[in-house]
């Protein structure tokens, strides 16, 4: 693989740069060195698409428990990639993933439009996301009615059948006519029902406004134009104003109902080309302003959205639409507006067959985020779609996470509300599973920081970026399973619904000790590494934590490694946890890195799962290193499993 010039240039930016941060009043302001690789705030999200069962549910007709298990696995995937939000499609085709009084149950749940799935998916999704401190942005497709053009296929009670004048057929699909005022009001009402009844964090629209052009076909809205288009001599301007009205009115209605809910749109990545409009970008692709009547630049300039997430689904250097040129252009549009710019990323292209050669480079996606660092207006990224994040083809997502998401990040601040009161750490103590921290406070969520050494007075620079951020949680307790034997100081900050952060609490010092040392490293922890050949599954109920990893046997070791901080040289009991199954491997080799060299222990993973199983007691060196590995080189058949290990001083 050739070295990317972009990466060489931008690598120099990973050294510390100066930034001003706000310190507690008693400490005043300080200039702190921050690392752009560990930003304090960044929206990190993935789209979970329900239309055509792209992501979730994986197919229609799943049982309630199966649907819910699948959704939990998507959320756990987001957490494992250190994301902080999901954009979940809840109105894919003028239908609903909640019991809506306006529209029928979605066919993508049961296979039959209008049939209840037996529970309230949106209520379930919000609760599960918040339990993991993930934002849930409810994603609505505004105008699409059906992926075919036969209205008789719609359930009889469907509003598009009850009001045939509201719809038109185009390109083999049915759409609501954006030019009819009653349609616009109806769509807004349907969306607002979800806003008012559910504790969602955002309202999210995708890029489908007027339908994308189909060669040889004209949009059949001349009658609506004749009735409602007075004052617009150009039908194109009238169509744009129809979409503008929906955007502007939704912005007003969402924030009037719940000021803390974010309103965002993910439009097509090109507004207009500079050859058409001097305000446009240096591109030559389809223009959303002209093709689908979406005046996205105007929405930003008018502040009708809280964030815009243009789908910049092209590689760096692509002649028609260069990623780097578009991020620069969109950054210029957003600058000074108060609208946050989030980039829609084409995870689906990375390593996929039939894509340009650039997308066969595992570094392409990661290079996009290096480019983003040049533009302070860019507040984060959203990946399409969840299944492609999970697929991790050619290791592209793993490379991106390693380079850019090594630490958690707080979501960007919205609005100007006051930060919550400072929380109080009530206890921090070592236990068999790590350091248990508890606190009191009035925040919606809390950020947990750990600083090496004894530092009970907060240093503002220790919280200027995410290098010391362990996690965020909506609970009031947390166990730090990554703590070694050293002395640490723990701090808590409180976050409100729009992510304003309090000053840090007084620090709670936990002194260093190797007595009673025990550490668990799970496959979702930072100490775990594995190649892209290792898949992720939550199939077995015997799993430890959110999921486990699996791989086919191969005549090469390719181990999955568990890295841990061993506090001192001595004897340690090494235990492993795995999900067992009759079809898994009967001779899985575990490697233990002892002071006298690697030792291998073979385990039959067909039985004995769902519990700690001892590999034995070994003499280990002090230090932080790969202590235990799971090898793929075995004479057995069936998947080898890597889930969790526990290392205990004896």
Q: Dump the DSSP string for 324-382.
A: HHHHHHHHHHHTTT-PEEEEEE-TTTTT-TTS-GGGGSTTHHHHHHHHHTT-TTEEEEE
Indicate whether 632 and 561 sit together in one domain.
yes
39 located within any domain: no
Average pLDDT of 43-47? Answer: 98
Give the distance, in angstroms, between the CA of residue 82 and the centroid of all CA atoms in the same chain.
8
Indicate whether 543 and 627 sit together in one domain.
yes
Indicate whether 583 and 598 sit together in one domain.
yes
pLDDT band at 19 (very low <50, low <70, confident <90, very high): very low
Kindly report the pTM of this predicted structure.
0.78
The answer to whether 366 and 328 are in contact (CB under 8 A) is no
Average pLDDT of 44-73? Answer: 97
Q: What percent of the chain has pLDDT over 70?
A: 95
Q: What is the DSSP letter of 96?
A: B
Per-residue pLDDT at 554 exceeds 70: yes
Indicate whether 534 and 630 sit together in one domain.
yes
Per-residue pLDDT at 576 exceeds 80: yes
Strands 340-345 and 307-308 come out as: parallel
CATH number at residue 488: 2.60.40.10
Indicate whether 528 and 607 sit together in one domain.
yes
506 located within any domain: yes
Per-residue pLDDT at 354 exceeds 90: yes
Residue-wise pLDDT for 380-428, tens only, equals: 999 999 999 999 999 999 999 999 999 999 999 999 999 999 999 999 9
Residue-wise pLDDT for 460-477, tens only, equals: 899 999 999 999 999 999
pLDDT at 138: 99
pLDDT at 453: 87
Indicate whether 503 and 616 sit together in one domain.
no
Query: Per the omega criterion (within 30 degrees of 0), is the bond before 203 cis?
Result: no
pLDDT at 17: 33
117 located within any domain: no
Give the distance, in angstroms, between the CA of residue 409 and the centroid of all CA atoms in the same chain.
11
pLDDT at 134: 98
Alpha-helical regions (H) of 213-268: 222-228, 235-257
Domain boundary among 480, 496, 518: 518
Higher pLDDT, 17 or 590: 590
Domain boundary among 482, 500, 518: 518
104 located within any domain: no
Residue-wise pLDDT for 508-549, tens only, equals: 999 876 566 889 999 999 999 999 999 999 999 899 988 999
| CA–CA separation, 59 and 68 (whole Å) | 13
Indicate whether 496 and 595 sit together in one domain.
no
pLDDT at 512: 74
Structurally, the chain folds into a number of domains equal to: 2
289 located within any domain: no
pLDDT at 513: 66
Domain boundary among 518, 538, 572: 518
pLDDT at 1: 35
pLDDT at 640: 96
Indicate whether 459 and 548 sit together in one domain.
no
Indicate whether 506 and 539 sit together in one domain.
no
634 located within any domain: yes
CATH number at residue 620: 2.60.120.260
Helix axes 235-257, 181-197, angle to 10 degrees: 20
The answer to whether 176 and 94 are in contact (CB under 8 A) is yes
456 is in which domain, residue-wise? 424-518
Residue-wise pLDDT for 424-465, tens only, equals: 999 998 877 789 999 999 999 999 999 988 888 888 899 999
Indicate whether 645 and 524 sit together in one domain.
yes
Indicate whether 621 and 553 sit together in one domain.
yes
Structure tokens at 233: 């001599």
* Residues 6 or more apart whose Cβ sits within 8 Å of residue 511: 454, 487
586 located within any domain: yes
Per-residue pLDDT at 23 exceeds 80: no
Indicate whether 501 and 590 sit together in one domain.
no
Q: Dump the DSSP string for 441-470.
A: ---SEEEEEEEES---SPPGGGGSSSTTEE
Q: What is the DSSP letter of 543?
A: -
Residue-wise pLDDT for 211-268, tens only, equals: 999 999 999 999 999 999 999 999 999 999 999 999 999 999 999 999 999 999 999 9
527 located within any domain: yes
* Residues 6 or more apart whose Cβ sits within 8 Å of residue 417: 260, 496, 498, 500
Residue-wise pLDDT for 483-508, tens only, equals: 887 889 999 999 999 999 999 999 99
């Amino acid at each position: 693989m050739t070295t990317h010039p972009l990466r060489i240039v931008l690598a120099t930016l990973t050294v510390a740069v100066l930034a001003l941060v706000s310190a507690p009043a008693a400490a005043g302001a300080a200039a702190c060195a921050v690392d752009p690789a560990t930003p304090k705030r960044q929206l990190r999200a993935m789209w979970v698409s329900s239309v055509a069962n792209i992501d979730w549910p994986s197919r229609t007709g799943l049982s309630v428990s199966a649907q819910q298990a699948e959704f939990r696995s998507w959320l756990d995937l987001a957490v494992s990639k250190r994301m902080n939000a999901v954009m979940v499609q809840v109105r894919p085709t003028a239908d609903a993933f909640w019991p809506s009084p306006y529209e029928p149950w979605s066919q993508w749940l049961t296979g039959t439009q209008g049939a209840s799935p037996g529970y309230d998916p949106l209520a379930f999704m919000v609760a599960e996301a918040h339990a993991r401190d993930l934002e849930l942005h409810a994603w609505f497709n505004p105008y699409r009615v059906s992926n075919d053009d036969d209205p008789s296929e719609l359930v009889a009670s469907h509003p598009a059948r009850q009001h045939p004048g509201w719809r038109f057929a185009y390109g083999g699909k049915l759409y609501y006519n954006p030019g009819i005022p009653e349609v616009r009001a109806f769509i807004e009402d349907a969306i607002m029902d979800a806003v008012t009844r559910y504790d969602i964090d955002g309202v999210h629209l995708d890029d489908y406004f007027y339908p994308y052009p189909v060669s040889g076909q004209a949009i059949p809205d001349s009658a609506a134009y004749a009735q409602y288009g007075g004052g617009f001599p150009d039908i194109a301007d009238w169509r744009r104003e129809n979409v503008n009205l929906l955007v502007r009115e939704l912005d007003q209605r969402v924030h009037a109902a719940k000021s803390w809910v974010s309103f965002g749109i993910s439009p097509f990545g090109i507004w207009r080309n500079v050859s058409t409009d001097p305000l446009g970008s240096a591109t030559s692709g389809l223009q959303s302003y002209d093709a689908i009547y979406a005046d996205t630049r105007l929405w930003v300039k008018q502040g009708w959205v809280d964030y815009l997430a243009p789908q910049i689904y092209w590689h760096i250097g692509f002649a028609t639409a260069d990623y780097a040129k578009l991020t620069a252009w969109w950054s210029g549009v957003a600058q000074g507006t108060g609208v946050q710019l989030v980039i829609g990323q084409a995870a689906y292209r990375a390593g996929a067959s039939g894509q340009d050669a650039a997308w066969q480079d595992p570094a392409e996606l990661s290079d996009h985020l290096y480019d983003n660092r040049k533009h302070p207006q860019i507040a984060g990224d959203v990946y399409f779609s969840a299944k492609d994040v999970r697929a991790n083809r050619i290791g592209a997502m793993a490379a991106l996470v390693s380079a850019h998401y090594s630490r958690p990040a707080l979501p960007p601040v919205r609005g100007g509300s006051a930060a919550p009161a400072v929380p109080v750490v009530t206890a921090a103590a070592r236990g068999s599973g790590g350091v248990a921290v508890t606190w009191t406070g009035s925040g919606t969520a809390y950020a947990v920081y750990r600083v090496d050494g004894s530092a009970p007075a907060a240093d503002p620079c220790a919280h200027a970026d995410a290098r010391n951020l362990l996690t965020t949680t909506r609970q009031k307790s947390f166990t730090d399973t990554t703590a070694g034997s050293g002395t640490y100081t723990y701090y808590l900050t409180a976050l409100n619904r729009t992510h304003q952060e309090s000053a840090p609490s007084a620090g709670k010092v936990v002194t260093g000790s190797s007595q009673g040392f025990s550490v668990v490293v799970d496959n979702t922890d930072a100490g775990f590494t594995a190649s892209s050949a290792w898949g992720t599954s939550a199939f077995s109920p015997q799993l430890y934590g959110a999921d486990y990893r699996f791989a086919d046997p191969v005549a090469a070791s390719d181990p999955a490694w568990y890295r841990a901080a061993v506090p001192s040289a001595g004897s340690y009991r090494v235990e492993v946890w795995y999900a067992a199954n009759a079809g898994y491997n009967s001779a899985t080799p575990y490697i233990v890195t002892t002071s006298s060299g690697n030792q291998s222990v073979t385990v039959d993973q067909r039985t004995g799962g769902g519990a700690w199983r001892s590999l034995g007691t070994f003499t280990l060196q002090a230090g932080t290193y790969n202590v235990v590995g799971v090898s793929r080189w075995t004479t057995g058949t069936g998947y080898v499993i890597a889930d969790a290990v526990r290392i205990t001083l004896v």
